[in-house]
Structure formats: structure tokens, C-alpha cells
Amino acid sequence: MGQDTFSSRLAPHNWQGSAPIHGSRAMRTSEMIIIALVAVALATGGVLAVVLSPPLSPCAGVTGATRSFTIIIDSTGYNGSLYKTGSWPVVMVQRCDNVVFTVINNATESHGFAVAYYSNVGLELVGGAHQTLKFQATKTGQFQVYCTINCSIHRQMQNGLLNVT
């Protein structure tokens, strides 16, 4: 029987009866392969980060005008929309403009205010409150301006329109 020491039990063997393998060429080759794989992964990750990053905003570097609008909410809707036919209020801006809505709730009950695409969650204003909604108009098209609270009195607050040209 051979000598059974603690170090011989822990040393790796090649399991064919020869001496333990220490610092072999195979170990150095596998280390080089791992290092090469890590380097390739890092390099590819950098390239993929550039290729897969989201596109810049269509308004990047463009300073649009600031367009401010006041919306008065009361029992006649948004700026008297109850008495209007078709879309009301209608707001027109240019692409890349900074849009600022000051929304004033003159009613006693809560009302909401949202602009499709730009602020789908929108604002909720308790009676007597006022809030501001700001965004940059980055996409052209027509976007609904509407109340986010669903009840019968809010029907006249569903037909507002933001036109971005």
C-alpha cells in the first residue's frame, strides 16, 4: 500500500495510475480559452450595445417652441366642450415643440386629463385643483385629449384633439 497523506488525497489525478497533474499544459490551454471567450464576449457586448441601443429621439438637438395651453374643466366639459360639435378643444403644435397644458378643475368633483400616446395615464384633479402636464411632441399625427375618469358626466370630455404636424 502506498503512503496515504492528506496532500495526495486532494491532488488531482489523471485516473490512469500515474502521478498527480500539477501545472500541466492542458490547464494553461483551458485558461487561455476562457480568457479568449471572456474577451470576445466583452467585445461583442460593446458592439451589440451600440447596434441594439434605441434610436435617438427624432427631436434630438432640435429646440422646439414652447406652446402653452390652458384647459378649464367644469360642468360644461373642457373649455365648454359640451356646447361644441366635433372635437373640442383642438390644439395644434409642430413636431419637436414643447407642449405645456395647465389644467384647472373648477368643478367640485374629480376630473382627469390625458393625451393619447404622450400621457395615457394622465392627470387626476380633485375639485378646485390645478396641475401641469408637459411633454415634447416627438410624433406627428392626431392624438385624443380625454378625461381618464369613466362616468356619464365625463362624456363631453372625450373628444379633445392634439394635432402634431
Measured CA to CA, the distance from residue 26 to residue 41 in angstroms comes to 23
Q: Per-domain residue ranges for the chain?
A: 12-52, 66-164
Measured CA to CA, the distance from residue 161 to residue 13 in angstroms comes to 78
DSSP H stretches of helix in 53-147:
none
pLDDT in tens, the chain (165 residues): 555 554 445 555 555 555 555 555 556 777 778 787 777 666 666 555 555 556 678 898 888 999 999 999 998 999 999 999 889 999 999 999 999 999 999 999 999 999 999 998 899 999 999 999 999 999 999 999 999 987 666 777 888 999 999
What CATH number matches the domain at 66-164, 2.40.30.170, 1.10.3720.10, 1.10.10.10, 2.60.40.420?
2.60.40.420
Measured CA to CA, the distance from residue 124 to residue 96 in angstroms comes to 26
β strands within the chain, DSSP E: 66-74, 77-78, 90-93, 98-105, 111-115, 119-125, 130-136, 141-146, 160-164
Which residue, among 114, 105, 103, has the nearest Cα to 74 in the 3D structure? 105
Residue 106: predicted pLDDT: 95
β strands within 23-80, DSSP E: 66-74, 77-78
Cell numbers for 155, please give them. Answer: 362624456
